[in-house]
Amino acid sequence: MDKLIACLLIPVTLAFANDCPAKEPPTLLDRLEQTLKSDDKPFSLVTQIYIKPESGPQFEAAAAPAANLSAAEKGCLAYDFQRDLEKPGHYTLVERWSGLVPLRQHLTREHTKQIQAVFERLSTTPRTTDIYAPIVAD
C-alpha cells in the first residue's frame, strides 16, 4: 500500500514543480557587471547572429549604418559586423568598449534599438554573446 501512495504522490509533486516560474537568465549587462566588477574596465563582446540566408541583404542594409553610428559613440573602441564567407546567414558582431558606462548609453540609443529589432525579426536562433577582456602587461 505504501508503494501505491508513493507512486501517486510523485506525479503530483512533479506537476507542482513544473508550475514554478523559471528563473530568467541574466541579461548581458548583469553578466558584465558580475564579471568586470567595475564600470571602467575595457572589454570586448563577440556576438554570433544567425539569420535566414535570404534575408542577408536586408540584414546588411540595417547593420552597416548601425555599425557606423555605434563606432562613432564615445567609449566605443570598435564595432564591426562580419559576414561568414562559408556559411550564408551567419554573422559575427565584434564590439570593444572602454567600460560599462558607454555601453549602457549605447543600449539606449535609437540605432541600437533598431538593429536589435532587426535581430529579433530576422534571426533563426537566439544570439549568443561572449565577453572578453584585453590582455595587458603588468
Condensed to tens digits (0 to 9), the pLDDT of residues 52-107 reads 999 999 999 999 999 999 999 999 999 999 999 999 999 999 999 999 999 999 99
**pTM of the full predicted structure?**
0.80
Condensed to tens digits (0 to 9), the pLDDT of residues 10-43 reads 444 444 445 556 678 889 999 999 999 999 999 9
Nearest Cα to 32, choosing from 104, 81, 91?
Answer: 104
Length of the chain: 138
Q: Is residue 12 part of a domain?
A: no
- How far is the C-alpha of 89 from the C-alpha of 50, rounded, in Å? 5
Which residue range(s) make up the domain with 103?
25-132
Nearest Cα to 89, choosing from 50, 123, 59?
Answer: 50
Q: Is residue 3 part of a domain?
A: no
Nearest Cα to 59, choosing from 68, 50, 69, 47?
Answer: 50
CATH number at residue 61: 3.30.70.100
Q: Is residue 137 part of a domain?
A: no
Q: Is residue 111 part of a domain?
A: yes
Q: How confident is the model at residue 6 (pLDDT cuts 50, 70, 90)?
A: very low
Cα distance from N-terminal residue to C-terminal residue, the chain: 70
